[in-house]
């Protein structure tokens, strides 16, 4: 942090930011003062001092209340972000006071979350009940970005040459196989295996347009000089299964995810002969050796579970 940045940080008062947000939310200095149990004159003074510190007007004041200037709009966005981060910090630190001994932030893609993480994280939590795990679902590209930016300690996703940042480290975790999902009465349901190109004559139900599965499908179609007849995008595998079952098209999803969710569904899975249908799901970190102890324990646990369950993941 440069000296000028340190000076700016020291001059910004958190109480003033809280009062500024309150005034913006209520549209009135008087109402904000009532809610925050402080004199209106004190609120007005703090806002004036804040404007002086930032060297720009933040509010247009008029008889019916206040209105944000463009600079005020920008500050409101950042102030809310700062205050939210402080609330999150307080919540996490209070958990340590209540007995939590570690905290691991994980971002993972839907394939890992649906197929492997419920059991793997469940067994880890049983062995280490005082370690808190925050798990968020994101697209693989977003998982990698979160690890790069420090928003996640650990990423779990499909890492390709296109989304693996040079500064990131990866370790093997699991393998999955993509299969074609079709209604039981579909003409392709009678086949044991099919090339993805042969599915392009049919409507498709696809995942999010930036998901690793859909990107692989689109690249395969382009390589064949074809396009995907996409009927609908969905955000989850359950939704995909229901759409396919109701005749909206065929779709591609991991085999194990299909096995876990299909139950009484009237669907069949058909193997894909394409090389890209066999994928590696990897653990991603900026530097595994510098992860906190609890995160390293989790990495070791996930890799050990993968070794134990390897036949089931095939």
pLDDT, tens digit, 9 for 90 and up, residues 246-297: 999 999 999 988 988 765 468 999 999 999 999 999 999 999 988 888 888 9
Beta bridge partners of residue 272, listed in sequence order: 194
Q: Could you tell me the residue range of the domain that residue 12 belongs to?
A: 4-85
- In a domain? residue 314: no
* pLDDT band at 91; cut points 50, 70, 90: low
Q: Which residues contact 113 (CB under 8 A, 6 or more apart)?
A: 135, 137
Do 292 and 153 lie in one domain? The reply is yes
Q: Could you count the other beta carbons within 10 Å of the beta carbon of residue 182?
A: 24
Report how many domains make up the chain. Answer: 3
Q: 271 and 297: one domain?
A: no
Residue pLDDT, tens place only, 167-219? 799 999 999 999 999 998 999 999 999 999 999 999 999 988 888 899 899 99
How far is 85 from 17, CA to CA, in rounded Å?
13
State whether 198 and 269 are in the same domain. Answer: yes
pTM: 0.64
- The pLDDT of residue 192: 92
- The verdict on residue 245 lying in a domain is yes
Please tell me whether residues 284 and 167 are part of one structural domain. yes
57 and 119 share a domain?
no
Q: In this structure, are 158 and 25 located in the same domain?
A: no
Residue that finishes a domain, picked among 85, 120, 141: 85
| Domain endpoint, select from 85, 114, 148 | 85
**What percentage of residues in the chain have a pLDDT greater than 70?**
89
Q: Are 59 and 201 contained in the same domain?
A: no
Counting Cα atoms < 13 Å in the Cβ hemisphere of 210 gives 9
Domain end marker among 36, 63, 85: 85
61 and 180 both lie in a single domain: no
Bridge partners of 178? 254
C-alpha radius of gyration, the chain, whole number:
26
CATH number for the domain spanning 241: value is 3.40.190.10
Region 96-118: mean pLDDT is 83
The verdict on 9 and 74 lying in the same domain is: yes
């Amino acid at each position: 942090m440069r000296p000028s940045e340190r000076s700016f940080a020291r001059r910004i008062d958190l109480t003033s930011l809280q009062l500024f947000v309150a005034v913006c939310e209520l549209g009135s200095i008087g109402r904000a003062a009532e809610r925050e149990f402080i004199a209106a004159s004190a609120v007005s003074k703090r806002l004036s001092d804040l404007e002086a510190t930032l060297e720009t007007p933040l509010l247009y004041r008029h008889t019916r209340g206040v209105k944000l200037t463009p600079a005020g709009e920008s500050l409101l966005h950042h102030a809310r972000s700062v205050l939210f981060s402080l609330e999150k910090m307080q919540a996490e630190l209070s958990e340590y006071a209540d007995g939590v001994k570690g905290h691991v932030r994980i971002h993972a893609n839907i394939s890992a979350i649906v197929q492997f993480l419920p059991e793997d994280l469940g067994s880890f939590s049983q062995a280490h009940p005082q370690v808190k795990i925050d798990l968020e679902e994101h697209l693989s590209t977003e998982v990698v970005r979160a690890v790069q930016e420090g928003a996640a300690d650990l990423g779990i996703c499909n890492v390709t040459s296109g989304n693996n940042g040079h500064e990131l480290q990866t370790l093997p975790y699991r393998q999955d196989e993509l299969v074609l999902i079709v209604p039981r009465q579909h003409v392709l349901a009678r086949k044991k295996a099919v090339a993805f190109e042969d599915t392009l004559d049919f409507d498709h139900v696809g995942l999010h347009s930036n998901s690793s599965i859909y990107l692989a499908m689109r690249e395969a179609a382009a390589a064949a000089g074809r396009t995907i007849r996409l009927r609908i995008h969905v955000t989850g595998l359950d939704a995909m299964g229901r759409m396919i079952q109701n005749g909206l098209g065929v779709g591609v999803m991991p085999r194990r995810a299909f096995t876990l969710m299909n139950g009484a569904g009237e669907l069949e899975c058909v193997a894909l002969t394409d090389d890209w249908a066999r994928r590696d799901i990897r653990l991603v970190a900026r530097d595994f050796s510098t992860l906190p102890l609890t995160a390293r324990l989790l990495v070791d646990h996930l890799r050990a579970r993968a070794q134990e369950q390897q036949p089931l993941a095939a």
